[in-house]
Amino acid sequence: MPFVVSARVMQTPAADRLQVIGDAVIAVDDGGLITAVEPSGTAAGRSLLDSGAAQLRTPPDTVLIPGLVDLHVHAPQWPQLGTGLDLPLERWLFEVTFPLEARYADLTFARPVWSDLVDGLLRHGTTTAAYFATVDVAATSALARAAVQAGQRAFVGRVAMDHPEGTPEWYRDASAPAGVDRSARSIAEILAIDAGRGLVQPIITPRFTPACTDDLLRGLGELAVSTGVRVQTHCSESDWAHVYALHRFGTTDTNALDGFGLLRPGTVLAHANHVTDDDADLIRERGAGIAHCPLSNAYFADAVLPVRRLRGRGVEMGLGTDVAGGASPSLLHQAHDAVTVSRLLDDGTDAHLPPEGRGVGGSAIDTTHAFWLATVGGGSVLRAPVGLLAPGYRFDAVLIDAASRRGSMRVFPGIDSPERTFEKIVRLAGPVDIVGVWVDGRRVVGGEPD
Ligand SMILES: [Zn+2]
């Protein structure tokens, strides 16, 4: 049924522009598409209110923001969130992560974790998530089902990995053709689960080049062309990954992925901290984008992603939690972290160096820019009409109770302007302050407000 929402809206149509609509009227059609957004005091706003559509009036002191887009989640790592981050990446993968991921082949283990994860992320306001599932086809389909059931917009990828050195014998595809075949089957199963609706879609997911043979990468590139399904993978995450690609392929990770046909419109490259300027230009030309994972990068990347420099070259970019390489499921937390690490890059970190040679000037971003990454930026990378409450976008939205006092956020009337309230939401709001979440026009968290 079509409906009309009255709300105070805060959002970022551009990376340098916070938009506050004090009393917005949002018209949503019965398919979950936003057809109009008007201030209530205008003739257009009044005619929406008088249209006869069902009305949803949000309570006073609440703020409606666009749903958050998490570009990088390792779903099976949900139980290990917050642990193991002091291990080097290879030990973390082989000793902690791969053994856990292998357990999901048992669906009685997988199903409750999947539902808990999807529900947990929705409660954090994540209305769209790009998931790495596991190697197992059935476990991957079970994750897609969990997202459909909970009503989360999701891109769900069976993880393809077959390299005899980069993966353990007990957790990999048996061969490159077997890996391509299982990915093709996974795509077919996921398309059948959400037939016609498109809320949950498959995504082709080579884990990262060290875990995949050339034949598997090439086969998945061909699969992407033949099916038109999006691609996600890791790219140049760390010094090690960057140098690994140079040694194995004689070129950068980005170039190698492109050579295998994997750099395509909508391809999500996680991390990409060590991409060169030429890589960045290629990413832009191919229509791919970057999932910036600032917290995970602090542990595993050896560097801070130069957001401004890459965006200045026209590269699409959004944010990812990288559960569980990043120890928070909250995309607002990531937005806060994106600001923090950009400041560290800008100022530098070694006090023994003179201030003028300590950092990379011009690197800092603010909360408006970071929130844009978490919403519009993520939607642009995925080429999905989400991240903004505007006509032509899906109604994916999060309602924040700015007066809740249940968490750390305190808004003081008479002191806090709308701009300051927005900053507080980005830096301090958490699930206890989130009183409603909608995906595709359907309420998935919280009861009806009175
Ligand atoms: Zn990752």
Mean pLDDT (the chain) is 96
Last residue of a domain, one of 335, 350, 382: 382
- Per-residue pLDDT averaged across 225-253, rounded? 97
What's the CA-to-centroid distance between 293 and ligand 1, angstroms? 9
| CA–centroid distance, residue 324 to ligand 1 (Å) | 8
Count Cα neighbours of 277 within 13 Å in the Cβ-side half-sphere: 3
Tell me the C-alpha distance between 392 and 49, whole Å: 19
Residue 450: band (very low, low, confident or very high) from pLDDT cuts 50, 70, 90: very low
Same-domain pairing of 56 and 74: no
- Distance (angstroms) between ligand 1 centre and the Cα of 203 equals 15
Pair (399, 371) in one structural domain: no
Of 242, 230, 227, 247, whose CA–CA distance to 272 is shortest?
Answer: 242
Asked if residue 213 and residue 195 are part of one domain, the reply reads yes
CA of 309 to the centre of ligand 1 (A): 22
Identify the helix (H) or strand (E) that includes residue 285.
helix 277-286
The CA 352 to ligand 1 mean position distance, Å, reads: 33
For residue 44, how far is its CA from the centre of ligand 1 (angstroms)? Answer: 45
- How far does residue 305's CA lie from ligand 1's centre (Å)? 15
- Give CA–CA dist 80/82, Å, rounded: 6
Cβ-contact 136, 181 below 8 angstroms: no
CA of residue 445 to ligand 1 center, whole Å: 27
Rounded to the nearest whole angstrom, what is the distance from the C-alpha of residue 387 to the centroid of ligand 1? 22
How much distance in Å is there from the Cα of 201 to the middle of ligand 1? 19
Say what the pLDDT of residue 448 is.
54
231: Cβ–Cβ under 8 A, 6 or more apart, which residues? 203, 204, 205, 206, 220, 224, 262, 263, 264, 266, 267, 268
Give the Å distance between the CA of 98 and the centre of ligand 1: 13
Number of independent structural domains in the chain: 2
Distance 104 CA to ligand 1 centre (A): 18
Cα of 30 from ligand 1 centre, angstroms: 36
296 CA from centroid of ligand 1 (Å)? 8
pTM of the model: 0.98
What would the pLDDT profile of 185-223 be if each residue is shown by its tens digit?
A: 999 999 999 887 889 999 999 999 999 999 999 999 999
Residues 92 and 222 in one domain: yes
Give residue 276 CA to ligand 1 midpoint distance, Å. Answer: 20
As a dihedral over the C-alpha atoms of residue 357, residue 359, residue 363, residue 367, rounded to 10 degrees, the angle is -140
C-alpha of residue 267 to centroid of ligand 1, in Å? 14
CATH code of residue 237: 3.20.20.140
- Tokens 């080049």 found at: 209
CATH number at residue 401: 2.30.40.10
Of 382, 406, 428, the domain-final residue: 382
- Does 301 share its domain with 364? yes
User: Domain check: are 27 and 92 in the same one?
Assistant: no
Between the CA of 131 and the centroid of ligand 1 the distance, in Å, is 10
Q: Tell me the pLDDT tens digit for each residue of 136-187.
A: 999 999 999 999 999 999 999 999 999 999 999 999 999 999 999 999 999 9
Please give the biggest Cα pair distance in the chain: 67
pLDDT digits (tens, 9 = 90+) for 353-403: 999 999 999 999 999 999 999 999 999 999 999 999 999 999 999 999 999
Ligand 1 centroid to Cα of residue 234, in Å, is 6
The answer to whether the CB of 22 falls within 8 A of the CB of 35 is no
pLDDT at 88 (0 to 100)? 85
Give the domain extent around 187: 68-382
Distance CA 325, CA 90 (A): 12
Residue 450 lies in a domain: no
Looking at the structure, tell me whether residues 21 and 88 fall in a common domain. no
Task: Give residue 191 CA to ligand 1 midpoint distance, Å.
Answer: 24
Give the lowest-confidence range in 5-14, 88-97, 216-225, 294-303: 88-97
Which residues make Cβ contacts (< 8 Å) with residue 27, sequence separation at least 6?
Answer: 2, 3, 4, 34, 35, 36, 37, 48, 51, 53
CA of 74 to the centre of ligand 1 (A): 6
Å from CA of 118 to ligand 1 middle: 17
Last residue of a domain, one of 332, 359, 382: 382
Q: CA-to-CA distance for 170 and 345, rounded, in angstroms?
A: 40
| Ligand 1 centroid, distance to 308 Cα (angstroms) | 22
* Residue 449 pLDDT exceeds 60: no
Please indicate, yes or no, if residue 435 is contained in any of the structural domains. yes
